[in-house]
A and B are shown apart, each in its own frame.
Chain A
Amino acid sequence: MSGSLSWSVHIVAQGNGAAYKPTIPGAQIGDPVKAQVGDIVTWGNATDLVRQPWPTVGNAADGDQVPEASNPPGSKLYFSGPINPGGSSRPQWVVPSALPDGTPLVATSVINYCSKDHPTERGQIVIF
């Protein structure tokens, strides 16, 4: 049982919205979180509204949020269900070895996401 490494991201209030802050020593709000394939990434919601990390169309940093029907629970980029204020993500999201289209995730690959229903709130996961 070697186990998976786990990385935490807090969803924190910023201005009128929210931003993502990895719970890593030295990390700042807006920093990407780094993770390896097979690692677990969790999100904790420190804001007052329900939030849900959600993939973007084409995995673009500036892409729209993917329609709900295209990313049902169990999908590779279903990061979490809705996260209540003070709650954390569920189910566990494990960094897949490839994106849904089969594109392998390798070192320096980036997964872009936004907050569902708050698409201007953007985050990134960098594979290392």
Chain B
Amino acid sequence: MTMTSIAGRLSSGRRPAGRISWLLAALAFAALLLPQVRPASAQYTTKCWAGDLTSATATLPEIPEIASHNGILKGTVVLADAQRSVTLPKKGSNGEATCVPQLQRFFQRGESTVNPDEVNPPRPGPTLRGQLGDVVELIFLNQINTLDYGDSIDLSQKGIGTGCDSVTNGSGYPNFPKGTVPASDTYPNCFHGSTSGNLHFHGTHTSPSYTADNVFLAVAPSPRAGGAPRETGALVQAEFDSFFANCKAKLDATNLLEWPATWSEMGLPKWLERQKAMMADFDKGKPDAQQLLRADDMVDKAGGFPQYYIGSFPYCFLLPHKPINQPVDQGTLRMGQSPGTMWYHAHKHGSTAIDVSNGMLGAFIIEDNSPEGYDGYIKGFYAKHPNNRGTKGQKVPDQLWPIKETVMVVNQVAGTPKLETGSGSGPVPFSINGYVLPTVSMYPGEVQMWRIVNGSTISGFYLPAMPPGFTWRQTAQDGVQFDTPNYISREERPVFVAPGNRIDLLVQAPAKAGSTTSFPVQVTQGVSQSGAEKTLTPTTPLMTIMLTGSGPAMNPTPSDPADGFPAAMPPRPAFLNDIGATNAPERSLNFNTAGQGSGHSQHTIAIDGGPQAKFEEGPPLTIAKLGTIEEWKISNTTNGSAINDPIDHPFHIHINPFQVTEVFDPNAPLQDAKGHTIFKNGDSTPLYVFSGTCVPNKNGNGPHPVAPCWTATDQCLLDGNVAASWHPCPAMPSPYSRSTNIWWDVFPIPDGITNPVTKKGVIAGYFKMKTRFVDYNGSYVLHCHILAHEDRGMMLQVNLAPTPQMSMMQHH
């Protein structure tokens, strides 16, 4: 039998013809026993939870919360799966959204019974809402039904083997033809392990180890009995509660304690016995390299904290509270947790892209409600505002907030990731809280606080402005409030929100309703900040604001002394004052994508001029001791400009945030002092010009009469032949610093550009940042927050103050 004979006959729902009658009769009889292609009752299209630009057809849903009480943020997060409506990139013939039911894996609050015939909209996981000083006590359950997804391996042998989610269509991932350069993906830097999960608490300053923000954990799905998961909340509750009580007592007593460091310290003998039994069962028939219990036992015997679990895991960690007026050099706790908009998401290497795009994410709000704290200050301003709803005798939107606070989790809900950018059907649409183009209602003059999380695994968005008539202020970036100078300087300043970034906005609707009641909020979608900034007119609607209802406007008349926004921000917590002098040499990291657009791109990081390497291919980045203060230059030699596909790899590091001190984007457009790109005849003006591509005028100002370098006086002249000149001009003010530097935990590394003078080589984009490695030692990671890049290797292990007793994790 040859291969061609397999497919020698392709039917289209018809039975073969041209046989002799007796054979037809026999076949007809046989056909009664066979499944037929028949009009099926199965539903391959489903309702769309998508709005349009003119009506309130998809009101932004509110997300259920798990809120803390009495110093404990306690709840159950379940990794579940069910049918959800996924909006296709390609619209219908009339421009309408088209949706299909897809089995998706996502976080939800608590356990629930799945109706297999019910299709719900996508939705992020519950919003976690805690306070500084809380102990987080989360029961994490993985109840995915593995029957619904292909067998995906957590642990395997490094290199080419069986660990990757390979495909069999003869041309797909990672089965590239032999000799392909660059080589195909190899384990562990390939898509794999998609039914296991864990929780990364993005933006927290806490322990990176054990039961805290430990992204090396992998919790596989519970085995099932009678179709239901065996590992349930009811089964683990009592034992976990005992562990949580012990954990809280210890962390409350010592806020720098990293505990439990071993299985024996957990004190969960029954649970561990059950874990071992489930793992032993799971491991049956598997090669040594894929056996979870074997891997765990080795770590346990070496005195480390094992990383593989099945069905359940107890997360317990502290949100350390440092007194707001205590600077970094006072107190045993140096940094403390910043209050602000954080988020959490799955961080299982090899499957972060598919997991987060399916719905394994949620917002994590950490509040400081003291009068001088971030939340307390803003609440106090509106509580005392003369036109506050409460003072006008109206019901306030929420007992916790005198103005409406809206949490918006942006995502691009998608299926299984491909290596490159899909099939040309267009980008996956943004959703907010699961709805595509949702409607946000405001009454005229109302002020709302929006906490926006960009949980997209691939795209950033550039918000150049709010709709006409709306005013706005950004109050925080990545969960750290602005102080007054940056708050004022960034008044209605356009903002690029990279994957992983968060922004807090105060938004005020126009005081008077006009004839128009619906206002689309338009953004530019992409992964290049400068590319987005150079777009004259944004065309991607993110949401629609509907002006409806009535209430007390915050600034109803010009004569009213009360404004809609605070005039200032409270001082930042003293431990978030600007980082001063470093105490270690400068480091450099280079992010690079090779073979971009080829269908088999490779994503790597180089340390201090060393070789480009994927995760675990090279040595980890080691910070010798706690208290180290460093400045890093993080560059990007990806040359998207050559193929008109720039990529600003969003740099993210766990545990300790950083301050950006310098940015060089060779593709940047010229902007005015308010951050608006300057367009002439629809085209942007480049910020940087290179000698050799033009003739500079004598005094550096004004256009040259023959070959002008400058078309505007604020441009920056660089020498294409002198690498030392490839940095921002000294006179250029940083947009990320007014008196003080802004804190970030994700920053898009500007894309490179082909040297316009030599026509070869890449002038890298870069940014510089300062950070402090303080308080908690252990292993964690930095990586690109385009999560398919991270899954495929653009990640680096950071070992902070390793000790001989510390067993460094293997992330798979």
* Residues of chain A having any CB pair with chain B under 8 Å: 1-6, 8, 10, 19-20, 22-28, 30-32, 34, 38, 40, 42, 44-46, 55-62, 66-67, 69-71, 73-79, 83-84, 86-96, 99-103, 105, 108-110, 112, 120, 122-124, 126, 128
- Chain B residues with Cβ below 8 Å from A38 are 423
Whole-angstrom CA separation of A58 from B27 in the bound complex: 15
**A8 contact from B103, B152, B170, B417, Cβ within 8 A:** B103
Knowing A2-B414, A5-B100, say if A112 contacts B7 (CB, 8 Å).
no
Interface string of B13-46 (1 = CB under 8 A from A): 1011000000000010011011101101111101
* Complex alpha-carbon distance, A78 and B150, angstroms: 14
CB-defined contacts of B418 to chain A, threshold 8 Å: 1-4
Give 11 CB contacts A-B under 8 Å.
A2-B414, A3-B414, A10-B147, A42-B150, A73-B168, A86-B224, A88-B149, A89-B151, A91-B167, A94-B168, A108-B13
Closest to A88 in B: B151
Q: Select from chain B the residue with minimum beta-carbon distance to A55.
A: B6
Known contacts A57-B8, A59-B8, A61-B34; can you find 7 more A-B pairs with CB under 8 A? A26-B41, A26-B43, A27-B41, A28-B40, A70-B5, A74-B170, A120-B33
In the bound complex, residues from chain A placing their C-beta under 8 Å from that of B645 are none
Nearest residue in A to B86 (C-beta to C-beta)? Answer: A5
Assess the B102–A6 pair: CB atoms within 8 A.
Answer: yes
The residue of chain A having its C-beta at the shortest distance from the C-beta of B146 within the complex is A88
Taking a contact as CB atoms under 8 Å apart, the answer to whether A58 and B5 are in contact is yes
Least Cβ–Cβ distance between A22 and chain B, in angstroms: 6
A8-B103, A67-B1, A92-B150 known; A58-B35 Cβ under 8 A: no
- Evaluate whether A77 and B147 lie within 8 angstroms (CB atoms) in the complex, with A2-B427, A24-B44, A26-B41 already known: no
- Residue A123 contacts which of B7, B35, B83 (CB distance < 8 angstroms)? B35
| Nearest-neighbor residue (CB-CB) of B425 within chain A | A2
Given A24-B44, A58-B5, A59-B7, are A1 and B421 neighbors across the interface (CB < 8 Å)? yes
Q: How many Å from the CB of B248 to the closest CB on chain A? A: 38
The interface residues of chain B lying within 8 Å CB-to-CB of A75 are 3, 6, 168, 170
Looking across the interface, which residue of chain B has its beta carbon closest to that of A22? B42
- Whether A95 contacts B169 in the complex (CB less than 8 A), given A1-B414, A6-B102, A88-B151, comes out as yes
Write out the residue numbers on chain A whose beta carbons fall within 8 Å of the beta carbon of B9: 58-60
- Cβ contact within 8 Å between B148 and A32: no
Cα distance, A1 to B171, chains bound together (Å): 18
Nearest-Cβ distance from residue B415 to partner chain A, whole angstroms: 4
The 8 closest A-B pairs by CB, nearest first: A44-B147, A2-B422, A99-B7, A27-B42, A90-B151, A3-B414, A3-B415, A101-B4
- Asked if A109 and B170 make an inter-chain contact with CB atoms under 8 angstroms apart, the answer reads no
By beta carbon, the residue of chain B nearest A104 is B10
Check if B583 is an interface residue, CB within 8 A of chain A: no
* A65: min CB distance to chain B, Å: 10
How distant is the Cα of A122 from the Cα of B32 in the complex, in angstroms? Answer: 12
Pick the contact of A1: B11, B43, B353 (CB < 8 A).
B353
CB distance from B45 to the nearest CB of A (A): 10
Pair B6/A74 contact, Cβ less than 8 Å: no
On whether the beta carbons of B426 and A2 are closer than 8 Å, the reply is yes
User: Which of A45, A74, A77, A94 is B7 in contact with, Cβ under 8 Å?
Assistant: A77
Q: Per a CB cutoff under 8 Å, which of B27, B42, B165, B417 touches A24?
A: B42
Q: Which residue of B lies closest to A123 (CB)?
A: B35
Distance to closest chain B CB from A10 (angstroms)? 6
A112 touching B40, Cβ below 8 Å: no
- Chain A CB within 10 Å — which of B86, B416, B421 has the most? B416
Question: Which residue from chain A places its CB closest to the CB of B9 in the assembled complex?
Answer: A58
**Complex contact A3–B428 (CB within 8 A):** yes
A55 to B428, CA, bound (A): 33
B2 at the interface (CB under 8 A from A): yes
B10–A32 CB distance below 8 A: no
Interface of chain B residues 392 through 442 with chain A (CB within 8 A)? 412, 414-418, 421-423, 425-428
Chain A residues contacting B95 (CB-CB under 8 Å) are none
In the complex, the answer to whether A4 meets B148 with C-beta atoms within 8 Å is: no
Q: Which residue of A lies closest to B426 (CB)?
A: A2
Does B597 lie at the interface of the complex (its beta carbon under 8 Å from any beta carbon of A)?
Answer: no
Q: Residues of B contacting A45 with CB < 8 Å?
A: 147
Find out whether the CB atom of A23 lies under 8 angstroms from the CB atom of B148.
yes
Contact flags B454-491 to A (C-beta < 8 A → 1, else 0): 00011000000000000000000000000000000000
Q: Can you name the residue of chain B whose Cβ is closest to the Cβ of A97?
A: B169
* C-alpha spacing A78/B101, complex, angstroms: 25
Residue of A6, A46, A56 with most chain B CB atoms under a 10 A cut-off: A6
